[in-house]
Amino acid sequence: MEELIWKYIDNTCTDEERESVVNLLNTDAEFRKSYELIVDLEDQLLSVAKITMRPDFKTQLAQKVAIELREQKVSIKTNILPIKWIIGLSFVAVAIIIYAVTIIKSAEPSITFMPSMDEKVISMIGLVTSGFIMLTLLDAILKKVQQIKRITGLLV
């Protein structure tokens, strides 16, 4: 009975069901009482469900959701070590190489099967390591700049 009333209210019933509802409303007092109760409930639900929104609310909400999704993709960590650790270990490696070169130059070569390194090779190793450190720093700085632009809304 209630299902038939809801179909009638939602205007999804067939013509036969519509005729039977109209007939029952005219003849059955209990059916009419149930119908009025459900109509009152429907009106209350519709009055509560009305929420007024600003016209640009949907677009702002969509933009914020898009920004959050982009930030979640950016926040996925793919590094094995943090950038600070990589830079620190690179500096330590350069210092060890420089220290080893000074020891090798000042003393007799203790390793006879390995030839001594030329100064050009040593300087090239230092330049490559410094270049790696600079590229890592540049990458970190550019990521921060992009993140700041996204937060402030300059980059969408």
pLDDT tens, residue by residue, 29-55 = 888 888 888 888 888 877 776 667 777
Burial class from Cβ neighbours inside 10 Å (0-12, 13-18, 19+) for residue 35 reads buried
pLDDT for position 68: 82
* % the chain with pLDDT above 90: 0
| DSSP letter (8 states) at residue 49 | H
Pick the more confident residue, 60 or 50: 60
- Mean pLDDT computed over every residue of the chain: 79
* % the chain with pLDDT above 70: 81
131-138 long-range Cβ contacts below 8 angstroms, 24+ apart: 132/90, 133/87, 133/90, 133/91, 136/83, 136/86, 136/87, 136/90, 137/83, 137/87
SS3 39: helix
- Judge contact between 6 and 39, C-beta under 8 A: no
- Judge contact between 94 and 129, C-beta under 8 A: yes
Question: What are the C-alpha distances in Å from 33 to residues 40, 52, 69?
Answer: 11, 32, 51
Please report where in the chains the tokens 């005219």 appear, as a residue.
26
Domain residue spans in the chain?
A: 2-49, 57-152
